[in-house]
Amino acid sequence: MLFQKKSYLSFILASSFIVAGCTTNSAIEIKMDSLPTPENWSDKNVLTEKVNSENNGQWLVKLMTPELQRNIELALINNRSLKQQRLAVEIAEQNVIVSGATLWPSLDLNLSTSKRDYGVSTTSNDLSLSLKYEFDIWGKLSASERQINLNYAALLAQYEQQKRELISDVILGWYQVIEQNQQLTLAKESLKSIEQNLAIIEAGYNSGLNTSLDVYLARNDVASERSTVATQKTRLQSNIRDLELLLGQYPSAALQTDVSDIPELSQAVAVGIPSEIVANNPELQYMWNLLLAKDAGLAYAHKQRFPSLSLTASAGTSSTELSDLLSSDLGWSLVGSLTAPIFNAGRLAANEESARLSTKQAEQAYLETLYTAFSTIENSLTETDNLKLSYQANIDAAENAQLAEEVSFEQYLKGLVSYTTVLDAQNRAFTAQSSVIQLKYEMLNIRLQLFIALGGDFSSILPKDVK
């Protein structure tokens, strides 16, 4: 009767442990199917086709040149930051294998030989096979495996995000080199024009038609423009070196582009709807998997407070002669152990609370990343519209400034205006033309920034064998 009561009590205690162990509550409050996403973007005139649609593929293809395509492929192979991330993924993959192995028994073979001499010499040869297995009663080992698998999934998403950002950076770096080449060409043309003006003014001064002040102003303008050309050459070489680093090459500033202008992209970016970026954006997938991994870590910390049940089995033989080892009698043992934490000064409870707080922290980090992505997209949509207006206005300004420069110099030669008027017209013309070149690049920059934030991929411009 006493045995029956003890057995019944043991059953009740074990059952209570199982129920407690299996009722771990998630600390995540947000749900993937009910995330706080708006129904539409603030700009109602956007193109709501899916982000990775044919529309976006068309304007991406417009950006491609054979040399740019080759450089993108080189960057995906040689970029050192991407290589580091790829190695981090491979390390995490091995950790997944390690964590999965804990759910299986371990089997070890041991062969040992010893010799002792305490007045009488003895030799002992031992051969044993041992098996160890921990039962995953509460799902503790499964929770640990799930955490490591989710960390692996997070790193895969982070790698994909880094790869897309690298492609975008190579495209932008490529066209920034083109932009800086255009700025250098403009500065050289401006210098040539100013030098021609100086020659005319000096000739007029020698003939007594102009004052020395006009000569000094013209010479100052030439010196200033030469400085601008030198500065622009430095910027160009710096941009080329930055691009070469992205390609994993030595920064020798030797890279050449095969085009001389940035293409005008009149086609609108397809932005889809806000809820789609959750599935498309790898950065959001990375943060979500990190959150789930933290929650799995909480489950593991909770289940650490419950007993662990393990089984150890061994079989072996012993002989004084190594040749007789396999023919000796076989001995075996089977040991089951139940280990439960009794007193740890609150360490396990504190670990669980720490894991819970870490999960809540990761949840807020995910929401911050989500809303930052929304903010980037909304700002990019607004900036895209404003840049178009600014670009067109600067084209008109550049045309008028060039005409004003020509007219002002003609009027100066006729004595109708001072040379300061010519200088002002020259500065206006140069600034307007430089702004047109810069704005064209800025429109491309904001377009790619928007595309990345939306979760757009570059599969339409990459060969199928490039991963």
Q: What is the pLDDT of residues 338-362, one digit of tens each?
A: 889 998 899 999 999 999 999 999 9
Q: How far apart are CA 153 and CA 281, in angstroms?
A: 14
Structure tokens at 393: 């206005």
DSSP code, position 270? B
Confidence band of 327 (pLDDT split at 50, 70, 90): low
The answer to which of 8-17, 71-80, 190-199 has the lowest mean pLDDT is 8-17
Which residues are registered as beta bridge partners of 333?
Answer: 314
Give the percent of the chain with pLDDT over 90: 58
Average pLDDT over residues 160-183: 96
Average pLDDT over residues 269-298: 93
Confidence band of 19 (pLDDT split at 50, 70, 90): very low
pTM: 0.87
User: Residue 401, Cα to own-chain centre: how many angstroms?
Assistant: 43
Asked whether 120 and 270 are in contact (CB, 8 A), the reply is no
**What value does the mean pLDDT of the chain take?**
88
Contacts 24+ apart (CB under 8 A), 332-338: 335/311, 336/309, 336/310, 336/311, 336/312, 337/309, 337/310, 337/311, 337/312, 338/307, 338/308, 338/309
What pLDDT, on the 0 to 100 scale, is given for residue 86? 97
| DSSP-derived secondary structure for 356-371 | HHHHHHHHHHHHHHHH
DSSP code, position 460? G
Confidence band of 20 (pLDDT split at 50, 70, 90): very low
Tell me the CATH architecture of domain 27-108+139-307+347-461.
Answer: Up-down Bundle (1.20)
Q: How far apart are CA 363 and CA 357, in angstroms?
A: 10
Structure tokens at 280: 């498309």
Residue 7 in this model has a pLDDT that exceeds 70: no
What pLDDT, on the 0 to 100 scale, is given for residue 11? 37
Using DSSP bridges, classify how beta strands 121-135 and 308-319 pair: parallel, antiparallel or unpaired.
antiparallel
For 317, left (φ over 0), alpha (ψ -120 to 50), or beta? beta
